[in-house]
Amino acid sequence: MATLRVAVGLLVFVVGIALIVFVFVQAYNLFDTVDDEIAKVGATADNPDSDDQAMPGSGPTLGQVAVGVGLRIGLLIALGFLAGLVSTQGVRMIAAHRGSGRA
């Protein structure tokens, strides 16, 4: 039974670490695509390479892009926090079994 507790604690820790890795990959993808999203702000519907101002309704505004990026950053922060809690709980489960007194 004790081995099962350690195994579950280790599994919870590994899931937490996997979630943290997922957050880092998503953060990289987010910051890799921000430039493309900002470039679409000034593009017209007819010519994406144009330096002309966007026609109304033809593309996102800078505010829409900023809100979208801000929401994604907030979600990444929340997911990173939760992933840290999950991995910490796994460590606490293992420590409780080993009787380290830090559980």
Q: For residues 68 and 87, what is the distance between their CA atoms, to the nearest angstrom?
A: 29
Choose between 100 and 22: higher pLDDT: 22
Give the model confidence (pLDDT) of 40-93 as tens digits.
Answer: 776 655 555 555 555 556 677 788 888 988 998 998 899 889 988 999 988 888
22-43 average pLDDT score: 82
pLDDT value at residue 11? 92
pLDDT value at residue 33? 85
Rounded to the nearest 10 degrees, how much is the dihedral formed by the CA atoms of 49, 54, 55, 60? Answer: 110
> Could you tell me the maximum CA-CA distance found in the chain, to the nearest angstrom?
69
